Structures are given as C-alpha cells and as structure tokens.
Structure 1
Amino acid sequence: MTRNRLYLLFFIALIAGYIYLAYAISQQQTHSTFTPCVFKNATGIACPSCGSTRSVVLLVNGNFTSAFMLNPFGLIIAAIMLIGPFWLLYDVILKKNTLHLAYQKFEQAVKTKWVAAILILLVVANWIWNINKGL
C-alpha cells in the first residue's frame, strides 16, 4: 500500500472511530441494546471484537480494569486512537514516512507463520472468552 493511501485510510478510520466513540458515549446513559456487530446480529454469537467499543468507553471513564476485562482489544484500539493522530500529523507536517515504515514492518511480521499463528490464537482465545462472558 502506498504511503498516501495508507495515511488517507488511517485518517478516515480515526475520524470514523472518534465519531462512533462520541456516539457510544452519548448513548451510554440510555443502555441501548443496539449493536452494530453484523456477526452478532446475524448469529446471536459475539464476535472477537464484541465489547471493544464499551471497553474504550470504560477507558475514557477511567475504569482500566473493567475495560481490560470486558475486551482487551479495547486497549489496543484506544492506544491507536490516542497515538495515531499525533503520529500521522508528525509524518505529514515533517514529510516523514515513519508510520508507513512501521506499517510495512508489521505487515512483514504478520506474514511470518509463527507470528500469524500467535495472533490467530490470541483472537480465537478472546473470541472464546467473549462467548463465555455472554457478550
């Protein structure tokens, strides 16, 4: 993926994430049963990322332990949402490509069979945990 395409997609994803997070925080008081998860709506079974938005909302409210227990992926998402804009701005303003290089290194690492296997096992373990928690 080219640098410009990656940065554009990352920017769009960050904006969409912040908009959805603002919506989720605003709906926090209503305790809505709506879930945007297509997999859960179709099967009734939680997907590996179910609860990650609620996890990020808990982090915003300072409930770190509860956020981790709900879905550890929320911590990863929150870290990306926190660091991402600054990293993107740094590269764009200073005409660097550190984010693109990091993306390329991550992409190469994931192509390594043992790294891919570990990541898949972590996702499956989180999925089993989500199902057992009744998310």
Structure 2
Amino acid sequence: MTRNRLYLLLALGILAGYGWVLWFSYHKILNHSFTPCIFKNATGIACPSCGSTRSVLLLSQGKFTDAVLLNPIGVLMAAIMLIAPFWLLYDVITKKDTLYKSYKKFENIVRIKWVAITLIILILINWAWNIHKGL
C-alpha cells in the first residue's frame, strides 16, 4: 500500500468512526437492542468486535473498567481514534512519513508466525467472551 493510499484510507476511516460514534451517541442507542453488525444480524451470534462502539462511548464517559469488560477492542479503537488524526496531520503538515513507516514496521511484525497466531488467539478469546456475555 502506498503512503497516500494509507493516509486517505485512514482519514476516511477516522471520519467514519467519529461520525458513527456521534450518530450513535446522538440517538442514545447505548442500551437498546439495535445492532449494525451484519454478522450478528445474519447469524444471531456476536462477532469479535460487537460492543466496540458502546465500549468507546463508555470510555468517553470515563467508565474505563466497563469499557474494557464490554469489549477491549473498543479501547484499542478509541486509542487509534485519538492518536491517528494528530499523527496523520503531523505527517501531512511536515511532509514526513512517520506514520507510514510505523505501519510498514507493524505489518512486518504481524507477518511473524508466532505474533500472528497470538493475535488470532486473542481475537478468538474475545469472540468467545462476546458470545458468552450474550452481546
């Protein structure tokens, strides 16, 4: 992936993420049964990321423990949503590619077999936990 393509996709993802969180919080769906998850709507089973939006919203309310217990992926998403815009803006303004270089390093690390297997196991554990919680 080229630098410009990564930055464009990241910018669009950040805008979509903030838009989704704003829409979700505006409509106060936090405690309702509405789910945008295509996987859950099709199968009736929670996906590994089910509850991530609610987790981000709980973090924005200062409820860190509740957010982690709902879905730890939401904490990761919130961190990305907070850090990525500033990092992206820094690179664009200074005409550097520190974010792109970090992305490429991360991509190489994830290609290491034991790292990939560990991440897959963590996602599967989170998925089992989501199903167990009845998300």
TM-score (norm 2): 0.97
Name the counterpart of 2:75.
75
Name the counterpart of 1:34.
34
Maintained 8 Å contact 2:24/2:30: no
Instruction: Please state how far the C-alpha of 1:32 moved relative to its aligned partner.
Output: 3.4
Instruction: Please state how far the C-alpha of 1:30 moved relative to its aligned partner.
Output: 7.5
Name the counterpart of 2:55.
55
Unaligned runs of 5+ in 1: none
Name the counterpart of 2:25.
25
Name the counterpart of 2:85.
85
Instruction: Please state how far the C-alpha of 1:29 moved relative to its aligned partner.
Output: 5.9
CA distance in 2, matches of 1:111, 1:62: 35
Name the counterpart of 1:113.
113
Name the counterpart of 1:3.
3
What is the CA deviation profile of residues 15-64 of structure 1, one whole-angstrom value per residue up to 9, with x for unaligned ones?
00000000111122684322110000000000000000000000011100
Unaligned runs of 5+ in 2: none
Q: State the AA in 1 paired with 2:124.
A: V
Q: State the AA in 1 paired with 2:59.
A: L
Q: Is the alpha carbon distance of 1:30 and 1:45 closer, same or farther for their aligned partners in structure 2, counting shifts above 3 Å?
A: closer
Maintained 8 Å contact 2:55/2:75: yes
Q: State the AA in 2 paired with 1:67.
A: A
Identity %: 61
